Structure 1
Amino acid sequence: MPAEVLVAYGTTNGSTAQIAEAVAEVMSKAGLAAEALPAASAGDVTRYDAVVVGGGLYAGRWHKDARRFVRRNRRALADRPVWFFSSGPLDPSASEKDIPPVPGVRRAMNRVDARGHVTFGGCLQEGAKGRLARMIVRNGKGGDYRDFPAIEAWAAGVAGELVEERENR
């Protein structure tokens, strides 16, 4: 029976959801039973063998649904392998260098003993929700900076760790 993996995400405009879905797809192709769900409605995590939590970054803070998910499931997350990802920079910086987690994400990682974190570029396009987001797009600072080959490579690395651990049991 394949390991079951939850990829929970917090998003406002959907770009972090698309990253989470790509992560779950890579994991499924690696032989894991992975599903991507909104963090606000993901429910009980104890049925999963591992969890990936992703959140969009807004003004230096992780999306509230991702933060609440980690807080609500803190004990269960501490008992299983967990990885975090953030999405947000609206420039190519995430593809050019490793961007450390923002302080709140770092604290959450420490609380659940997360194995790793990565920051991916964000996406903010026409039709974005929120006054600030619309202003950013209107001023020409939006765009799609997600690097799906990098996202897929990271997900494959996480999946590889889980498959190897499963085989060594």
Structure 2
Amino acid sequence: MTRIPNVLVAYGTKNGSTAEIADVIADALRGAGLRCEARPAGDVDEVAAYDAVVLGGAVYAGRWHRDAARFARRHRKALADRPVWLFSSGPLDPSAGERDIPPVRGAARAATRIDAREHITFGGCLTEGAKGFVARMILKQGRGGDFRDMDRIRAWAGGIAKEIDAERTSRP
């Protein structure tokens, strides 16, 4: 009997939207038969127990969330030994669903350093009660909203599950 792979979905978030995306990814991976947990990137001390990692970060003012970037730096050696996928969450418009949005510099740097298999950008979410001066200004200008496409997020996670399963079943 083959062991069920254990996957970590780590994330950096400011107002919780990226955490919700991470939870959707983790649920989809569990639904595909994998062991999975979603955790704030800043709370993860060790990745040795995980067979694969999905790392996500919110994008604010063109920067990937610092907890995601720090996680990638701190665990660089361990991440290089396992499959890793990256995601960003950020545009407050439908653009992420209309075209491929390249990673911001911090996410691109992380992808290169840890040899990530893929990076994807999902739409962001900014609603009333968001923390931060810039967030409040965006909301005041009427530019907030929820632009996350949960079906697209689940489909992406499904692709990850298929890759992990294919590797598991191809091993002797």
Shorter-chain TM range is over 0.9
Q: How far did 1:109 drift?
A: 0.5
Determine the structure 2 residue equivalent to 1:158. Answer: 160
Q: What CA deviation, in whole Å up to 9, does each residue of 1:18-75 have, x standing for no partner?
A: 0000000000011110100000002200110000000000111100110111111000
Say if 2:117 is the partner of 1:115. Answer: yes
Q: How far did 1:103 drift?
A: 1.9
Structure-1-length-normalised TM-score: 0.99
Would you identify which runs of 4 or more consecutive aligned residues in structure 1 move more than 6 Å?
none
Structure-2-length-normalised TM-score: 0.97
Determine the structure 2 residue equivalent to 1:6. Answer: 8
Consecutive unaligned residues of structure 2, counting only runs of 5 or more, are: none
- Distance, in Å, in 1 between the alignment partners of 2:24 and 2:15 is 16
Determine the structure 2 residue equivalent to 1:93. Answer: 95
> What's the C-alpha RMSD, in Å, of the aligned pairs?
0.6
Determine the structure 2 residue equivalent to 1:26. Answer: 28
Q: How many residues align?
A: 169
Determine the structure 1 residue equivalent to 2:43. Answer: 41
- Distance, in Å, in 2 between the alignment partners of 1:43 and 1:83 is 19
- Distance, in Å, in 2 between the alignment partners of 1:102 and 1:131 is 22
Q: What CA deviation, in whole Å up to 9, does each residue of 1:116-160 have, x standing for no partner?
A: 000000000000000110110111000000000000000000111
- Distance, in Å, in 2 between the alignment partners of 1:124 and 1:57 is 12
Letter in 1 for 2:150: F
Q: How far did 1:91 drift?
A: 0.1
- Residue 109 of structure 1: SS of its match in structure 2? helix
Letter in 1 for 2:31: K
Letter in 1 for 2:91: P
Identity of aligned residues (%): 63
- Residue 40 of structure 1: SS of its match in structure 2? helix
Consecutive unaligned residues of structure 1, counting only runs of 5 or more, are: none
Determine the structure 2 residue equivalent to 1:167. Answer: 169
Letter in 2 for 1:130: G
